[in-house]
């Protein structure tokens, strides 16, 4: 069943990106020769979300929850299975490569790994100048050099290092090269896919601060993807939490941190490291049982139910809608039948009746075995 709720502020919002039921499935082959079958990885399922102009939306979730695929759907680096992506009200979901060109200028990506996202055999000036070569081929080489050096200066790189190779830069500097490349065409939207995860802790703050400064200067809109809730807290205006291809909670940043409604959000929150050891000892930490299920055969009903400490039998049967709970504002929505009240802590383990279903040979366990077989590629 489709998630029909969209977290949209009630006053006239200036929506830059609108996602409506965005779905991306990847077919995969399973089994061995002569007994091959095909299945589908449900990478992103029915995501509806708005990104307002000038804001930063954090997309957060565990590795494999579909956030990077969603980023690629937004920027049309992959084709959608179904659903719609609108930029300024224009549907770009099915545009040809040629008709996508004007939109490519308006949205750029920053990738996670500053080591592999730059061609080691090319000079930095040529890498940053790529967008000019592709989108503005009439730019003379002198003009291109001047603009590239200006960009290098903007992101805190020495313009005299124009002719150096990526290997001559540190990790943080390489990510700055990626940022400069993304800024070249003065985009409106930047989708940053784990932009600081591969960096040393000491340089993360520098890159985050650089992105914040650039946002102020150029009125950029960011979709900021990370598995780290503490980073997303620092950079986002609103946060969308993803689990197994679906958005399970979306809210203004402070709302999400102060009053999480979805048990998965609460569990993610409890895993944020706290610098004060006394505070860390006082704080309840939720350890989720089980692995993230395979997106090839996601659990029925609420996809989080095999791991949820609050799960009830209804959760395995009925997909919860993403909607406001406990009279929350329209901007705070959670997909949960039994959401957390203000200040409520999660129980230690799933209730016995769910534990019996999920872990003692009931339907959920059989499904889990199938998932493992699919991952291993066993013969069905």
CA 237/CA 254 separation, integer angstroms: 8
**What is the number of other CB atoms lying within 10 angstroms of the CB of residue 110?**
24
CB of 321 to ligand SF4, least distance (A): 10
* Closest to ligand SF4 by CB, 214 or 250: 250
Q: Where are the beta strands (DSSP E) in 270-376?
A: 322-323, 333-335
Q: Using CB under 6 A, count the residues that bind ligand SF4.
A: 13
Smallest distance from the beta carbon of 247 to ligand SF4, in angstroms?
13
In whole angstroms, how close is the CB of 336 to ligand SF4 at the nearest point? 3
- The smaller minimum CB distance to ligand SF4, of residues 102 and 347, is found at 347
Helix (H) or strand (E) holding 303: none
Please give the span between the terminal C-alpha atoms of the chain, in angstroms, as a whole number: 27
CB of 20 to ligand SF4, least distance (A): 23
**Residues of span 107-146 touching ligand SF4 by CB under 6 A:** none
CB-nearer residue toward ligand SF4: 176 or 266: 266
Encoding tokens for residue 324? 């406001």
Other CB atoms within 10 Å distance of the CB of residue 124: 24
Q: Which of 307, 304, 364 is nearest to 334 (CA)?
A: 304
Told to check if 336 binds ligand SF4 by CB under 6 A, we report yes
Contact status: 263 vs ligand SF4 (CB under 6 A): yes
3-class state of residue 110 by DSSP: strand
- Cβ at position 307, least distance to ligand SF4 in Å: 8
**356 in Cβ contact with 363 (< 8 Å):** no
Q: Is 292 in the site for ligand SF4 (CB under 6 A)?
A: no
Question: By rule CB under 6 A, what string of x and - marks binding of each residue 297-316 to ligand SF4?
Answer: -----x-xx--x-xx---x-
- Of 187, 364, 215, the closest CA to residue 291 belongs to 364
Q: Pick the closer one to ligand SF4 by CB: 76 or 368.
A: 368
State the Cα–Cα distance between residues 345 and 348, nearest whole angstrom.
Answer: 9
Shortest CB 224 distance to ligand SF4, Å: 24
**Considering the complex, what minimum distance in angstroms separates the CB of residue 225 from ligand SF4?**
22
The whole-angstrom separation of Cα 131 and Cα 104 is 10
Give me the least distance between CB of 266 and ligand SF4, in Å please: 10
C-beta closer to ligand SF4: residue 72 or 325: 325
Q: Is 195 in the site for ligand SF4 (CB under 6 A)?
A: no
**Tokens encoding 186:** 């003065």
Among 178, 295, 299, 320, binds ligand SF4 (CB under 6 A): 320
* 48 vs 194: CA distance, rounded Å: 21
For ligand SF4, the binding residue among 5, 26, 165, 338 (CB under 6 A) is 338
d(CA 246, CA 269): 18
**Between 132 and 304, CB nearer to ligand SF4:** 304
What is the DSSP annotation of 35-96?
A: S-EEEEEEEEEEEEEEEETT-EEEEE-STTSSHHHHHHHHTTSS--SEEEEEETTEE-TT--
Shortest Å, Cβ 72 to ligand SF4: 27
Q: Is 238 in the site for ligand SF4 (CB under 6 A)?
A: no
Binding site for ligand SF4 (CB under 6 A): 262-263, 302, 304-305, 308, 310-311, 315, 320, 336-338
């Amino acid at each position: 069943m489709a998630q029909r709720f969209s977290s949209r502020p009630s006053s006239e919002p200036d929506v830059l990106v609108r996602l409506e039921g965005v779905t991306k499935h990847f077919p995969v082959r399973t089994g061995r020769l002569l007994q091959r079958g095909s299945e589908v990885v449900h990478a992103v399922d029915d995501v509806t979300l708005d990104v307002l102009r000038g804001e930063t939306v954090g997309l957060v979730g565990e590795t494999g929850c579909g956030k990077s695929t969603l980023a690629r759907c937004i920027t049309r680096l992959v084709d959608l299975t179904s659903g719609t992506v609108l930029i300024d009200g224009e549907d770009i979901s099915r545009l040809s490569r040629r008709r996508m060109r004007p939109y490519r200028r308006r949205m750029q990506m920053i990738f996670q790994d500053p080591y592999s996202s730059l061609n080691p055999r090319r000079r930095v000036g040529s890498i940053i100048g790529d967008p000019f070569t592709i989108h503005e081929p009439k730019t003379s080489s002198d003009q291109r050099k001047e603009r590239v050096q200006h960009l290098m200066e903007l992101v805190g790189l020495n313009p005299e290092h124009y002719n150096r190779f990526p290997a001559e830069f540190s990790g943080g500097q390489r990510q700055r090269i990626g940022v400069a490349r993304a800024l070249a065409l003065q985009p409106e939207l930047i989708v940053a896919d784990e932009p600081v995860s591969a960096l040393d802790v000491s340089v993360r703050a520098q890159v985050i601060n650089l992105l914040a400064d650039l946002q102020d200067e150029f009125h950029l809109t960011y979709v900021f993807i990370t598995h780290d809730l503490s980073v997303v807290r620092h950079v986002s205006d609103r946060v969308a939490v993803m689990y197994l291809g679906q958005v399970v909670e979306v809210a203004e940043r402070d709302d999400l941190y102060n009053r999480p409604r979805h048990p998965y959000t609460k569990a993610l929150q409890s895993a944020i490291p706290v610098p004060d050891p006394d505070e860390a000892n006082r704080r309840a930490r939720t350890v989720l049982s089980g692995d993230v299920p395979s997106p090839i055969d996601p659990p029925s009903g609420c996809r989080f139910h095999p791991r949820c400490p609050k799960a009830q039998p209804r959760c395995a049967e009925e997909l919860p809608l993403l909607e406001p709970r406990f009279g929350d504002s329209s901007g705070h929505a959670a997909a949960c039948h039994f959401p957390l009240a203000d200040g409520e802590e999660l129980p230690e383990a799933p209730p016995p009746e769910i534990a019996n279903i999920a872990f003692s040979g009931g339907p959920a366990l059989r499904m889990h075995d199938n998932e493992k077989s699919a991952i291993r590629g066993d013969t069905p």
